Amino acid sequence: MPNYVSIDEAAEVLAKCQRVLVIGCSGGGKTTLSRRIAASFAMEFHSLDRDVRWLPGWKERAKDEQRKIIQDLATRDRWVMDGSGASTFDIRLPRTDLVLWVRVPRRVALFGLAKRVLSHFGTVRPDMAEGCPEPLPNREFLSYIWNFERKSAPLFVRNIDLYGADVPVAILPSHTEMDRLVALAGQAR
């Protein structure tokens, strides 16, 4: 069982920690939260989509190369890393001081995705790799969001248990709770 903590406890940790891992379903607000934390607490911001996974033209970088890049990023002193790839939790969790799990309802994630597509369709959004314009979501991507809790969340729990059982994990079920976390952490500094 992951080391779940309350929002209040997470804020205390966030105010003093060095490395934060932000995970969750696409469209939930991970990147927005990650950027806010990085700016508020003077941490480097790393997006797995932008910095690791994708090459121009939506070509996926080789897995071994992705792991090497993540190993390099994880060794740095102060960072916020936005990305949910459970296959690299073995690299990231041992270096993580706090996990923030954006776990919003499916409808919120789908709405977030729709907003993102409406805002950036056909252009490269700021947190995506160069040469990867925002597409219309395909069936596979929509299925990922629709089935996230059933298929992906259990993998997260298992891998958190395996590689970061002692790392505090805060569940953020809404944008309101994300805002509250950042505000409380700012007050605790």
Q: Give the rounded percent of residues in the chain with a pLDDT score beyond 90.
A: 96
Mean pLDDT, residues 143-156: 96
pLDDT in tens, 20-35: 999 999 999 999 999 9
Query: Whole-angstrom Cα distance, residue 174 to residue 57?
Result: 33
pLDDT in tens, 54-63: 999 999 999 9
Domain limits, the chain? 3-188
pLDDT of amino acid 71: 97
Average pLDDT of the chain, as a whole number? 96
Q: Which of 51, 101, 54 is nearest to 74 (CA)?
A: 51
pLDDT in tens, 6-17: 999 999 999 999
Please report which confidence band the pLDDT of residue 45 belongs to, taking 50, 70 and 90 as the band edges: very high
pLDDT of amino acid 85: 87
* Measured CA distances, 155 to 65, 81, 106, 160, 182 (Å): 22, 18, 17, 8, 27
Q: Which fold has domain 3-188?
A: Rossmann fold (3.40.50)
pLDDT of amino acid 52: 97
Query: Whole-angstrom Cα distance, residue 26 to residue 122?
Result: 18
Q: Does the pLDDT value for residue 189 go beyond 90? A: no
